[in-house]
């Protein structure tokens, strides 16, 4: 038996949801550059779940259905109020709340396609409500109920702040959601597929995926990037900070990628957004620091920024708390996880690889008094 550490380069399934071929990312055949410039997040969800772009009436119906399903059971809000506020990371809260949602869905274990599609719609609709409700609860505020007359990104920002957001913020968040929606067989999507390939339910798949996304080598990197930017604090501190980190062989968060070696096609969109948004807020230092870090890490290590690097200064510029960055990633990636879960059910086989044994040779049990 031979092993490949971290399954690098192993093709573990077929999928028509998204592809990365020669560093070009497509969702169902549409280039991410094209979608980032033209599509709304609702359109992208529809595309990922149906394999084609919606017509006008289909999109408005789908957008309305999402808005109509956005309320979460009161019991989930009450549960979140009982979480140990101050000690709980919002990703942990989200993981628990999504798992709890299953308890209030009588169809949770019904494995028919229509029931699974309805669960997908409900989970996608409710995940922003959970993230924003928890954010408010921990700040001692009441959650803001979703509105049925706002689009997905606008509703998120409205529920977060209680105020109707401006168009610039809505468009920026919408674009970030489009850019994060799916990414072939990344760690959290693989986790979701492994989970549901046992014929476990959709909620279990999403709960497992949230757990995988939380780690700093994956979705958790966007918060870690902001921590680094905050520690650096000023563009003049970039050089000594990064030099020390590189000399100590520390990982610079937001750089490197398992698949892209010539750069992540999503990063340029986020870099541009970071530039524009920091100009609007007047806090250009976040962009300037990011650019300087990028130049140093790329120049010295040949490592390029991934999706998490510039998204940090984008979300910060939108006034979002730093520990909500990864939950926002989850809000978007749920669309991709759900597409992969539905695809897995459609042509399922248990996912069960092998391990090469490297433990002790065969030995005999020694009674406890003789050890």
Ligand X SMILES: CC(=O)SCCNC(=O)CCNC(=O)[C@H](O)C(C)(C)COP(=O)(O)OP(=O)(O)OC[C@H]1O[C@@H](n2cnc3c(N)ncnc32)[C@H](O)[C@@H]1OP(=O)(O)O
* Residue 294 near ligand X by CB under 6 A: no
Interaction residues for ligand OAA, span 226-265 (CB under 6 A):
258-259
Across 176-201, b (16+ Cβ under 10 Å) vs e yields: bbbbbbbbbbbbbbbbbbbbbbeebb
Nearest to 191 by CA among 12, 43, 368: 12
Rounded distance between C-alpha atoms, residue 50 and residue 28, angstroms: 9
Selecting among 182, 218, 308, 340, the annotated active-site residue is 308
From residue 126 to residue 165, the character string flagging contacts with ligand OAA as x (rule: CB under 6 A) and all else as - is ----------------------------------------
DSSP string, 184-229: TT-HHHHHHHHHHTTT--HHHHHHHHHHHHTSTTTTTHHHHHHHHH
Largest distance between two CA atoms of the chain: 77
Region of 142-150, 190-198, 248-256, 341-349 interacting with ligand X (CB under 6 A)? 248-256
Q: Least distance (Å) from ligand X to the CB of residue 56?
A: 32
Rounded distance between C-alpha atoms, residue 223 and residue 231, angstroms: 12
Choose among ligand OAA, ligand X, none what residue 256 binds, the Cβ cut-off being 5 to 8 Å by kind. Answer: ligand X
- Do 229 and 313 form a contact (C-beta atoms < 8 A)? yes
* Residue 221 near ligand X by CB under 6 A: yes
Selecting among 69, 180, 257, 316, the annotated active-site residue is 257
Q: Determine how many CB atoms are found less than 10 A away from the CB of residue 358.
A: 6
Rounded distance between C-alpha atoms, residue 145 and residue 166, angstroms: 19
Helical ranges in the chain per DSSP H: 32-38, 41-50, 56-68, 74-82, 90-101, 113-138, 152-161, 167-180, 187-196, 202-213, 221-232, 238-247, 267-281, 285-301, 307-317, 325-346
Of the candidates 105, 174, 223, 308, which one interacts with ligand X according to CB under 6 A? 308
Choose among ligand X, ligand OAA, none what residue 326 binds, the Cβ cut-off being 5 to 8 Å by kind. Answer: none
Q: Least distance (Å) from ligand X to the CB of residue 254?
A: 5
Q: Least distance (Å) from ligand OAA to the CB of residue 253?
A: 13
* Residue 40 near ligand OAA by CB under 6 A: no
From residue 301 to residue 340, the character string flagging contacts with ligand OAA as x (rule: CB under 6 A) and all else as - is -----xx---------------------------------
Residue given tokens 């490949």 in the structure block: 4
Interaction residues for ligand OAA, span 161-220 (CB under 6 A):
183, 186
Is-catalytic flag, 257?
A: yes
Tokens of 17: 């949801």
- Closer of 232 and 253 to ligand X (Cβ): 253
How many residues make contact with ligand X (CB under 6 A)?
18
- Closer of 130 and 307 to ligand X (Cβ): 307
Tokens of 305: 């920024």
Of the candidates 52, 55, 258, 261, which one interacts with ligand X according to CB under 6 A? 258
Beta bridge partners of 21: 24
Q: Least distance (Å) from ligand OAA to the CB of residue 6?
A: 10
Nearest to 210 by CA among 333, 355, 100, 35: 333
Of the candidates 177, 208, 253, 338, which one interacts with ligand X according to CB under 6 A? 253
Q: Least distance (Å) from ligand X to the CB of residue 328?
A: 12
Nearest to 168 by CA among 181, 157, 182: 157
Choose among ligand OAA, ligand X, none what residue 122 binds, the Cβ cut-off being 5 to 8 Å by kind. Answer: none
DSSP string, 67-99: HHT----HHHHHHHHHS-TTT--HHHHHHHHHH
Is-catalytic flag, 323?
A: no
- Closer of 143 and 336 to ligand X (Cβ): 336
* Residue 257 near ligand X by CB under 6 A: yes
Residues that bind ligand X (CB under 6 A): 6, 217-219, 221, 251-258, 301, 303, 306-308
Residues that bind ligand OAA (CB under 6 A): 183, 186, 258-259, 306-307
Enumerate the active-site residues. 257, 308
């Amino acid at each position: 038996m031979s092993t490949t550490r971290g399954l690098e380069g192993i093709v573990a399934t077929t999928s028509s949801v998204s592809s990365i071929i020669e560093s070009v990312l497509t969702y169902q055949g549409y280039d991410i550059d094209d979608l980032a410039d033209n599509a709304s997040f609702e359109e992208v969800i529809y595309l990922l779940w149906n394999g084609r772009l919606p017509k006008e009436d289909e999109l408005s119906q789908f957008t309305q259905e999402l808005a109509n399903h956005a309320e979460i059971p009161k019991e989930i809000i009450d549960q979140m109020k009982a979480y140990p506020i101050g000690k709980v990371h919002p990703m942990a809260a989200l993981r628990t709340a999504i798992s709890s949602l299953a308890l209030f869905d009588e169809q949770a274990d019904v494995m028919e396609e229509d029931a699974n599609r309805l669960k997908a719609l409900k989970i996608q609709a409710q995940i922003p409500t959970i993230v924003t409700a928890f954010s408010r609860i921990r700040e001692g505020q009441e959650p803001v109920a979703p509105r049925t007359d706002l689009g997905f990104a606008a509703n998120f920002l409205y529920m977060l702040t209680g105020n109707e957001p401006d168009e610039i913020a809505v468009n920026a968040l919408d674009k970030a959601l489009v850019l994060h929606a799916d990414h072939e067989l990344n760690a959290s999507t693989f986790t979701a597929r492994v989970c549901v390939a046992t014929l476990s339910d959709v909620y279990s798949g999403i709960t497992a995926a949230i757990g995988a996304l939380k780690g700093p080598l994956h979705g958790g990197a966007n918060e870690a990037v902001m921590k680094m930017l905050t520690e650096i604090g000023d563009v003049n501190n970039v050089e000594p900070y990064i030099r020390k980190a590189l000399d100590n062989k520390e990982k610079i968060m937001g750089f490197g990628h398992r698949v892209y070696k010539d750069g992540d096609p999503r990063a340029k969109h986020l870099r541009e957004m970071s530039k524009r948004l920091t100009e609007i807020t007047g806090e250009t230092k976040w962009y300037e620091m990011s650019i300087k870090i990028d130049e140093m890490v790329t120049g010295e290590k040949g490592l390029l920024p991934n999706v998490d690097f510039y998204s940090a200064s984008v979300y910060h510029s939108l006034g979002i708390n730093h520990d909500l960055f990864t939950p926002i990633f989850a809000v978007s990636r749920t669309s991709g996880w759900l597409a992969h879960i539905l695809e897995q059910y459609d042509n399922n086989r248990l996912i069960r690889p092998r391990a090469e044994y490297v433990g002790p040779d065969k030995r005999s049990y020694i009674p406890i008094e003789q050890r």
